Structure 1
Amino acid sequence: MSPHRMAGLPAGRRGKYAVLVLWLVLLAAAGPLALKLGETQDNSTLGALPPGVESSRAAQRAEAAFPESRRQLAVAVYVRDSGLTAADRARVDADRTAFAGYADGGVVSPPVPSADGRALLFSLPVSADEQRRADAVSAMKDRLAEGAPGLRTALTGDAAAESDIWDAFDGMDGALLLATAVTVALLLLVTYRSPVLWLVPLLAVGVANQLAGATVYLLARHAGLAVDFQSQTILTVLVFGVGVDYALLLIARYREELRRHADRHAAMAVALRRSFGAVCASAATVALGLLCLVAADLPATRGLGPVGAVGIVAALLAMTTLLPAVLVLCGRWLFWPFVPRHTPGADERDHTADHGVWRRVAALVGRRPRPVWVGTAAVLVALTFGIGNLALGLPDDESFTIEVGSVTGQRLVAAHYPGGSAAPVEVLAAADAADRVVEAVRAVPGVAEVGGP
């Protein structure tokens, strides 16, 4: 459909009602589906490596040979700076007995003392079932919190770290949506200084978010699209951010045209036609850029591309159809108290007073397009220098804004035990080569201890 016809639908006297009815039908169908998006989350791929890398191949072989080896571990650590007392050791024995009820198979490792006599730790495998594992970790944390004076305790290991991550993300969707909506509302209020106008783009972008969520749900359910809580969260941010960006552009153009046209339908048709190309180019650029993530090796990153692209397309559709229809339906009063009035003869006036800076920029680009794009490309290329030194990710103990229990436990273990004690390296080898492999590993600099095969 050409931009002229596209602009005629939501800006038309009858077309705006057809557009609104269409979006009401879409919202009625998309709303329930969007609410189910959380059901399709598969967070097992978060942090997962590509299947072909060495650690992934080793994990697959280990799981086939030792099914119990992939169970997550919880590590309880006890530290007294002045040295552990007999009462402390009795407390450790009592906790080991109590924690046996949470251990998968009822097996808890013997307590391992530190060389300085100030710390003890023991570990236990927890259930593979997510809910049972979460309940077990929560109960163990509560028991460890009942510490004696001067005795520091913490629960760390994979199971405790997972629990802390879920606690950090608990309720994040609602908080993020509220924070995004408040930020957008403030931005629109400051920009248009109207107590009413900000509601319209916020409503439109909310509908776009529902459409995006429903589409992603259908793709995840029937097309195998990978969705996790990370991509679902980013989807909301993308839709709101991009949608408001397009709304600002369209409303600014619409307000200008209202001064030049007595009929608001004509003003919207011109505004939409003149901004449609820029909005579509922006959406296409971002969507195609996100789809490049499909080439990523990490499963979580690969799934993020299509999810984000769906959000961009949903925002584009809502901001170029629903938003114009609602703006035209409501009329000029939305801009109160700074209502743009029609000024006869405004079409022939020189508008450099309103657009002095950007008009000069546009004139420069129009006069000398080649030097502008060559110079801009050169600057962008120069800014890419050094990208090879870009470091991605954070150490586990820096992944939280506050110190959580699993991080505290890691630091306690690191202070009193050789590195890797809480999460030792696992070496997989053929059984007949076990002795030779052990000797080879012991010869590696930095290896503190090698357990029996």
Structure 2
Amino acid sequence: MPKEAEDRPASPHAPARWLRIVVPTVLVLIWLVVAGIGGPTFGKLSGVSSNDQAAFLPASAESTEVQDWQKRFTDSGSIPAIVVVQADDSIPKSELGTTYADLGTKLGHVDGVQAPPEGASTSVAGPIPSEDGRAVEYIVPVANTDEVKTVVADLRAVADENVPDGARAWVTGPAGLTADLVNAFGGIDGILLLVAVAAVFVILLLVYRALLLPFLVLFTSIFALCAAILFVYLFALWGWIKLSGQSQGILSILVIGAATDYSLLLVARYREALEVEQSRWVAILRAWKASLEPIVASGATVILALLCLLFSDLNSNKSLGPIAAIGIVFSLLSALTLLPALLAIFGRASFWPFRPVVGGRHHKPVEGAALSGLEGIRGLWLRVGRLIARRPRVTWIVSFVLLAACALGLTQLKANGVQQTDVILSQSDAVDGQAIVAKHFDAGSGSPVLIVAPESKADDVLAATQKTDGVASAAFYTGGGRPQEGAPAEPVVKDGHVLIQATLASEPDSSAAERVVKDLRGSLSDDGSVLVGGVTAIALDTNETAQSDLAKIIPIVLAVILVILMLLLRSIVAPVLLIGSVVLSYAAALGVSALVFNHVFGFPGADAAVPLFGFVFLVALGVDYNIFLMTRVREESLRLGTRPGILRGLGVTGSVITSAGVVLAATFAALAVIPILFLVQIAFIVAFGVLLDTVVVRSLLVPAVSYDIGRAIWWPSKLWQDKMHSRRAEISS
């Protein structure tokens, strides 16, 4: 029998026969029922999902207050669509009152368009001719905001069917961009999941070289996702959480990746147990007990890190926290209940055609006391262990310098938000239409800045607004649907306030437009009685809130993870080392990503929430792998001493943790199939960061620093104080 088997404590007896039959059967049946109920809810998520940026702002934001005021003035929650028609030649004025007027009437009859006010024939403003005479535009208020995608599709169909010969129409504006954004998210339910599962399946085949085991692991991940989707759907339906397309996509990827990672750790311990235990039931119990602490600690770390997003002032961040945490909870449950049941049922057949046998691992002695702990380790991890044992300081210094050099790219990160027209990476009718609007009209037409002012200050505020650089025109809201410049000022008054609509010269989602909003907020009121909102202000408030969230949430996440690691490892030094390593890894990943985004992909910038999301996922998931490593190192250190335990822990976990990192990187990379800038950037940051963390931080930096420090990494625990382990460490060094 191998030496390792002799060193291990006696195995427990196999459970009673009825337990071996009942427990796995009940567990599998429970998960089948949950999956059967949760699976069909995939197609229902879009019904409880919202991609409206304004819905995720805090109630205290100035633009949110203006939005509430706007509903009082208009008695409608409609959002504008801009239909722009460009002709090859100048448009005859005679056609404006006939052909183009008829088109406006037909646009107003589309289901979902706001009904006309009393005494008016249509709610559509237009046709509005351009100064160059080659284009007209219509402002169409879309009232059915729950079905923006359908309403915009109908508007496009009507415009295409009725546009005159020699002209072409586009539907853009906030409604058009929202519809195209919803279309871009359309692949989340199918394509994203298919790509992620296919990538994981291929990797599992390569890792296990088995036919059945990849299916068992995938079933574990998919069933976890079905359960998570069911609860997320119900919570969103009841109004407890706000679900968006990006949260839905991240949930799917996170569950598949995390459940697979936890499964890989359990399967690795199960295979080890099968090589020293004849009974598969005893082996699965042994593997489950050995895996329980690191898997639960890992999952708890990610869950608590995600729940730290509840401290965010941005509701999109705040909602992602519990949504993703639900996913991790079911990833944990499936990996610790469903997978053990499946492995117990199929036993060694799970690994066919390379079934593990008792005594299957033959330990090959390695000469040299400095390499104690590497017995039986072969291949890459033997070479890595030798490198760390012989040159630990050189190894960690070189690794540190490499990561620090990568982190220098942070100086080029442009995470101040991007124009909404840059968010969609695929072809977009709304994006193309916005360019046509900017070519022929004031670029901000159809998406005015909204200013709410006390009636006593109305004339002064209007005059100051009209004089502000970047404002093309401004007028009181008179109830006619659009500003009536030059007409007698008879503003609608609500609760002692008036509404001013200011059309900007620049595109409403541009940085130039945001500067105008800042100027207006700074000049119009010293006492806060004048509020500035609208589409541009919403984008500005979203970016500023996201940036403040980054500074607030990062320390909270680090503190929570540090406490968990201290409790898990019974140490202070090791947790501080691990936290420092993942922060450095995050900075390096973000630095390289900034260089790639700017100079390879040519992205115009990044959403302000990208650094925060990247931090939460990379730090929480990066600590996962260090937990897998250091819990095993601590286990081996109790038997062998610290330095041999480090080499032993690295050697036996090397392949499984690397496989887990590759799986997680592949699943997050699948987000890139959704043509949304934010998701593509998160996909690259997390995928690259996980690989960097797995290959450099967990394989070289952390083991080398730990080996160099020696038993002091366990300070002030009993393991640090144990003289027997101390002598072993001194001998091995």
**1:123-202 maps to which residues of 2 (within 5 A)?**
123-128=139-144, 130-131=146-147, 134-146=149-161, 147-148=163-164, 150-170=166-186, 172-202=188-218
Structure 2 residue 222 is the aligned partner of structure 1 residue 206 = yes
SS at match of 1:188: helix
Between stretches 254-263 and 234-243, larger displacement belongs to 254-263
- Pairing partner for 1:28 from 5, 28, 33: 33
Q: Give 2:50's aligned amino acid.
A: N
- Pairing partner for 1:419 from 425, 435, 443: 443
C-alpha spacing 1:383/1:171, structure 2 compared with 1 (3 Å) = closer
- Pairing partner for 1:91 from 85, 89, 99: 99
| Cα displacement (A) at 1:296 | 1.1
Structure 2 residue 248 is the aligned partner of structure 1 residue 232 = yes
C-alpha spacing 1:154/1:345, structure 2 compared with 1 (3 Å) = closer
The answer to whether the Cα contact below 8 Å between 2:27 and 2:337 also exists between their aligned partners in 1 is: no
SS at match of 1:225: coil
Q: Give 1:336's aligned amino acid.
A: W
Between stretches 354-363 and 90-99, larger displacement belongs to 354-363
- Pairing partner for 2:301 from 266, 274, 285: 285
The answer to whether the Cα contact below 8 Å between 2:299 and 2:329 also exists between their aligned partners in 1 is: yes
Structure 2 residue 358 is the aligned partner of structure 1 residue 353 = no
Q: Which has the higher contact order (CA 8 A, sep 6+)?
A: 1
The answer to whether the Cα contact below 8 Å between 1:45 and 1:299 also exists between their aligned partners in 2 is: no
* Paired position in structure 2 for 1:80: 87
* Paired position in structure 2 for 1:300: 316
C-alpha spacing 1:212/1:110, structure 2 compared with 1 (3 Å) = closer
Q: For the residues of structure 1 that align with 2:213 and 2:402, how far apart are their CA atoms?
A: 41
Identity %: 31
Q: For the residues of structure 2 that align with 1:41 and 1:179, how far apart are their CA atoms?
A: 24
* Paired position in structure 1 for 2:552: none
- Pairing partner for 2:61 from 53, 66, 71: 53
The answer to whether the Cα contact below 8 Å between 2:51 and 2:182 also exists between their aligned partners in 1 is: no
* Paired position in structure 2 for 1:443: 467
| Cα displacement (A) at 1:309 | 1.0
C-alpha spacing 1:289/1:450, structure 2 compared with 1 (3 Å) = same
Structure 2 residue 23 is the aligned partner of structure 1 residue 18 = yes
TM-score normalised by length of structure 2: 0.54
C-alpha spacing 1:165/1:427, structure 2 compared with 1 (3 Å) = same
- Pairing partner for 2:283 from 247, 262, 267: 267
The answer to whether the Cα contact below 8 Å between 1:41 and 1:227 also exists between their aligned partners in 2 is: yes
| Cα displacement (A) at 1:198 | 0.9
C-alpha spacing 1:309/1:363, structure 2 compared with 1 (3 Å) = farther
| Cα displacement (A) at 1:332 | 1.6
Task: Tell me how large the CA RMSD over aligned residues is.
Answer: 3.6
SS at match of 1:155: strand
Q: Kindly provide the CA deviation profile for residues 168-227 of structure 1, in whole angstroms up to 9, marking residues without a partner as x.
A: 233531222222221211111121222222110011112211222233345446682333
Q: For the residues of structure 2 that align with 1:222 and 1:135, how far apart are their CA atoms?
A: 24
* Paired position in structure 1 for 2:458: 434
Q: Kindly provide the CA deviation profile for residues 213-272 of structure 1, in whole angstroms up to 9, marking residues without a partner as x.
A: 233345446682333443233222111011111222222333333333333333333333
Between stretches 349-358 and 48-57, larger displacement belongs to 349-358
Q: Extract structure 1 runs of 4+ deviating beyond 6 A.
A: 7-13, 361-365, 375-382
- Pairing partner for 1:71 from 64, 67, 78: 78
C-alpha spacing 1:352/1:67, structure 2 compared with 1 (3 Å) = same
Between stretches 389-398 and 97-106, larger displacement belongs to 389-398
SS at match of 2:100: helix
The answer to whether the Cα contact below 8 Å between 1:10 and 1:322 also exists between their aligned partners in 2 is: no
C-alpha spacing 1:384/1:25, structure 2 compared with 1 (3 Å) = farther
The answer to whether the Cα contact below 8 Å between 2:271 and 2:356 also exists between their aligned partners in 1 is: yes
Q: For the residues of structure 2 that align with 1:9 and 1:446, how far apart are their CA atoms?
A: 80
The answer to whether the Cα contact below 8 Å between 2:275 and 2:361 also exists between their aligned partners in 1 is: no
- Pairing partner for 1:400 from 424, 428, 436: 424
**1:109-120 maps to which residues of 2 (within 5 A)?**
109-120=125-136
